[in-house]
Amino acid sequence: MLQRGDAISGSVVLVHRTRDGRSSALARRLGDDGGYVWSIAAADAQVDPWLEKQRAFDPDLWVVELDTPYLARFVDETIAPG
Domain of residue 65, CATH code: 3.40.1530.20
- In which domain, by residue range, is 56 found? 12-79
Residue 63: which residues within 8 A CB-CB, separation 6 or more?
1, 2, 3, 5, 12, 13, 15, 51, 55
- Number of domains, the chain: 1
The answer to whether residue 45 sits within a structural domain is: yes
The answer to whether residue 5 sits within a structural domain is: no
Q: Tell me the pTM.
A: 0.74
End-to-end Cα distance, the chain: 25
pLDDT tens-digit map of 14-49: 999 888 888 999 988 887 888 888 888 999 999 999
The answer to whether residue 2 sits within a structural domain is: no
The answer to whether residue 73 sits within a structural domain is: yes
